[in-house]
Amino acid sequence: MSGESVMNAASGKRVGWIGLGKMGTPMAANLLAAGHPVMVYNRSAARTEALAGKGAAVAPSVPALARDCAVVISMVSDDLALQSVTLDAGGLFEAASPGMVFIDMSTVSPILSERVAAAAQAKGVHYLRAPVSGSTTTAAAGTLTILASGPKDTYDRCLPLLQAMGKKLYYLGPAEQARYLKVVINMMAGVTAAMLGEALALGERGGLEWAQMIEVINNSVVGSPLLAYKADMLTKRNFAPMFTAAQMAKDFDLALEAGRNTNVPMPLAAVSRQFLGAMIASGRGELDFFAYVAMLEELAGLGPAGSQE
């Protein structure tokens, strides 16, 4: 597909969107706001209503969407969901025409992504991996960080679409580089929460005042953008989910699977995944993954903000 024809598809013919969850809905809305005609599909049809009210067309099925769109973007929950909408019977590739561009923005395993790449190549589909880093807030604002890999010419031609959803865009290579970097970043975020949980529990036990301890750590040599982003949550002890412990556990599974397949030892990730499992088992799975802090307090025999139970 020529650069001009992809641009025509992006600006004239509909852009297909599969998956309208917490992230997918605002991302697709930003495409509409940027003037791109969008057709949406979601397994739960009720979730299409909000975007239909903003001008999106609604596809009755994935194959119907594939037949009407030259560019299709997906943002789905996990490997099984991506396999279902691409490789399985009734999936995208069953109806895709040669030259279609397929951009997947989900967080999935490099192994499944390799299978999707092989199927795309067999169908003559241009496949771009473009997972995102950010939250529902940054998704709504169109300021996500987008990590992309796949054919460089496809990436270049699809920049207007990606720029409607993200502020920082990185092209990382021709294959699964974006998948690996996404799980690396999430793994590091999860290990940070585990480390912080232990540190704050120790500080509490030592008599430190809770809010002051967080402020000083945040402004010390170990401060980070992640900690700054979570500082208010920690100070107020409000663990309403920006990214749940259950979601983080899924991403640790992806990272550990990638480590096994590439013979990279990951002991810190393995231990952190066990504690994420404990969060889920103790009823904290739908809290933000930084609620790890509260679990460590409980294990240390501490109540909230330093009180002893």
Residue 305 has a pLDDT of: 53
Query: Collapsing DSSP states into helix, strand and coil, what is residue 163?
Result: helix
Residues making up the chain, counted from first to last? 309
| 291, 245 Cβ separation under 8 angstroms | yes
Rounded CA separation 113/127 (Å): 10
Q: Can you say whether the dihedral through the CA atoms of 304, 249, 183, 71 is positive or negative?
A: negative
What DSSP letter does each residue of 75-91 carry, written as one string?
A: --SSHHHHHHHHTSTTS
Domains of the chain, start order: 3-174 (3.40.50.720), 180-306 (1.10.1040.10)
Residue 304 has a pLDDT of: 64
CA proximity to 164, closest of 244, 71, 81, 70: 71
pLDDT averaged per 10 residues, the chain (length 309)? 42 83 96 96 92 95 94 96 95 94 97 97 97 93 97 97 98 98 96 96 96 97 94 95 94 96 97 97 96 95 60
DSSP category for residue 1: -
Where helices occur in 79-151 by DSSP H, the ranges are: 79-86, 92-95, 110-123, 136-141
Catalytic residue positions?
Answer: 182
Cα–Cα–Cα angle for 65, 67, 71, rounded to 5 degrees: 70
Q: Which residues contact 30 (CB under 8 A, 6 or more apart)?
A: 139, 140, 142, 164, 165
Residue 135 has a pLDDT of: 87
Residue 309 has a pLDDT of: 39
What DSSP letter does each residue of 257-272 carry, written as one string?
A: HHHHHHT---HHHHHH
- Can you state the percent helix, strand and coil of the chain, rounding each to 5? 55, 15, 30
How many contiguous H segments (helices) and E segments (strands) does the chain have?
Answer: 16, 9
Cα–Cα–Cα angle for 185, 221, 181, rounded to 5 degrees: 10
Rounded CA separation 86/80 (Å): 10
- 51 is written with which tokens? 């975007």
Rounded CA separation 61/58 (Å): 9
